[in-house]
């Protein structure tokens, strides 16, 4: 962790904070356009292409439209909480970026000041991100409660259960990273990946985190708190105008946050991709690392969009069962395995070839478990019903539940 953190002039800290805020707002506008274009291509449509070059100003036009629409506060709402909820959901999404590293130490143009491309760092920076992002769920829950609507309340309750469930799995996926890096500081975790990115030795942790981050951000196929087919719009059913735009902004900023955290913990952070640093010595110096960081983060954003355009929404019971009965037990078993393997390697009782062979065998056995059919408890098979004749009365009638045909 750099000694410059905490000792920089105020104008440097303020400059970096403003740049991070501007970056996130602009990146959100781009991501909305990017999602619409990618999903349109998947569905053989054109997507936004009128406002600005390639339709890039469509997101800005939608934002202005939302801000200028009539602001409605429902009569049954708790006014103070109703207004505070979208603010409470948006602010933590920005605060998490205080400890995300964009690059190494650089010199600010036109000055002699050297600063790391990171607002600040903490010995427990990853725990800080978990703590801050978990506050955002209060905004969603309070929005559902304060709206005075049944649909919104159900969406808020779903969100709280969903966030709690998948934050456990997400936190457990970080433990193996802490073991390898020997630190919870984001800058030190990036430095520890100078030789090997952690998604290779910790691939199960990487997969668990990717699944958990989709559930954490309420994105399809895990967007149960705002299921349009069941809950109209979920927790933001009664919101309009700028308050709805804040929820929209918080969702997309959270997408970028979890993508940046995945890049930092598993893909080497701002370090150049494999092969570039070997043939170009300056790939990991100056402002070039910002480009590598942006590219990796955008790759995860594309994954979010790909999932939304491909997979249908899960049932809520399936979603919660998968989190508690699959992700969390597997995460605990994987942490024990990582600790056991690292101890054997430190004592020279396990070589690399044996480890790779054991990993292949374990992977094959794990994939084979998906081929085992699920056993259904006795008594769950519904009784066979007699065949229904729609023309029993001389004209077609639909079957009625628990009623005999023609009676």
Q: Tell me, what's the pLDDT at 407?
A: 47
**Structure token pair of residue 342:** 């690292």
Integer angstrom CA distances of residue 406 from 59, 191, 385, 398, 399: 57, 76, 15, 11, 9
C-beta separation of 81 from 131 below 8 A? no
**Structure token pair of residue 71:** 């602001």
Q: How far apart are CA 164 and CA 170, in angstroms?
A: 10
Q: In 35-158, where do the E strands start and end? A: 105-107, 114-116
Using left for φ > 0, alpha for ψ between -120 and 50, and beta otherwise, residue 12 falls in alpha
Nearest to 248 by CA among 51, 28, 45: 28
Helix (DSSP H) and strand (DSSP E) numbers for the chain: 14, 2
**Structure token pair of residue 7:** 């000792």
For tokens 């942790």, name the residue.
Answer: 205
For tokens 């995860």, name the residue.
Answer: 300
Q: How far apart are CA 396 and CA 389, in angstroms?
A: 9
Q: Chain centroid to CA 100: how far?
A: 15
Helix H segments across 147-240?
Answer: 150-181, 186-192, 203-216, 228-231
Rounded to the nearest 10°, the torsion over CA 198, 203, 204, 205 is: 20
Q: pLDDT digits over 146-155, tens only? A: 888 888 888 8
For the whole prediction, is pTM greater than 0.95? no
Q: Tell me, what's the pLDDT at 406?
A: 45
Nearest to 267 by CA among 336, 307, 209, 327: 209
Q: In 217-349, where do the E strands start and end? A: none
Q: How far apart are CA 324 and CA 328, in angstroms?
A: 6
C-beta separation of 200 from 268 below 8 A? no
Angle between helices 288-310 and 203-216 (to 10 degrees): 70
Low-confidence ranges of the chain (pLDDT < 70): 1, 228-229, 352, 355, 366, 370, 374-386, 388, 390-407
Neighbouring-strand partners of residue 114? 107
Specify the DSSP class assigned to residue 114. E
Q: pLDDT digits over 33-72, tens only? A: 999 999 999 988 988 888 888 888 999 998 888 888 888 8
3 state SS of 232: coil
């Amino acid at each position: 962790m750099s000694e410059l953190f905490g000792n920089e002039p105020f104008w440097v800290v303020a400059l970096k904070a403003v740049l991070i805020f501007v970056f996130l707002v602009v990146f959100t506008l781009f991501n909305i356009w990017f999602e619409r274009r990618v999903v349109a291509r998947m569905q053989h449509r054109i997507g936004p292409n009128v406002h600005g070059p390639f339709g890039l100003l469509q997101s800005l036009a939608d934002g202005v439209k939302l801000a200028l629409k009539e602001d409605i506060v429902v009569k049954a709402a708790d006014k103070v909480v109703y207004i505070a909820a979208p603010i409470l959901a948006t602010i933590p999404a920005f605060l998490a970026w205080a400890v995300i590293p964009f690059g190494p130490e650089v010199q600010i143009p036109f000055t002699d000041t050297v600063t790391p491309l990171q607002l600040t760092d903490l010995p427990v920076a990853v725990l800080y991100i978990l703590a801050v992002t978990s506050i955002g769920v209060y905004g969603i829950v309070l929005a559902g409660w304060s709206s005075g609507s049944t649909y919104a309340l159900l969406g808020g309750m779903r969100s709280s259960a969903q966030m709690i469930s998948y934050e456990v799995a997400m936190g457990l996926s970080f433990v193996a990273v802490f073991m390898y890096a020997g630190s919870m500081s984001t800058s030190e975790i990036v430095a520890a990946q100078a030789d090997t990115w952690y998604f290779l030795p910790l691939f199960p942790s990487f997969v668990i985190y990717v699944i958990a981050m989709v559930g954490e951000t309420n994105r399809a196929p895990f967007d149960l708190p705002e299921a349009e087919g069941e809950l109209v719009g979920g927790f933001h059913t009664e919101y309009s105008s700028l308050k709805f735009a804040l929820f929209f902004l918080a969702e997309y900023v959270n997408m970028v946050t979890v993508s940046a955290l995945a890049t930092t913990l598993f893909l080497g952070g701002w370090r150049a991709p494999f092969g570039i640093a070997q043939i170009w010595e300056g790939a990991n110096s100056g402002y070039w690392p910002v480009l590598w960081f942006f590219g990796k983060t955008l790759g995860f954003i594309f994954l979010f969009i790909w999932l939304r355009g491909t997979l249908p929404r899960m049932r809520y019971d399936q979603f919660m069962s998968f989190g508690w009965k699959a992700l969390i037990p597997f995460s605990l078993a994987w942490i024990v395995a990582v600790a056991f393997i690292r101890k054997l390697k430190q004592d020279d009782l396990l070589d690399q070839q044996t480890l790779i062979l054991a990993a292949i065998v374990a992977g094959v056995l794990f994939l084979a478990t998906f081929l085992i059919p699920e056993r259904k408890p006795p008594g769950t098979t519904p009784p066979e019903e007699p065949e229904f004749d729609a023309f029993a009365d001389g004209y077609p009638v639909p079957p009625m539940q628990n009623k005999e045909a023609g009676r």
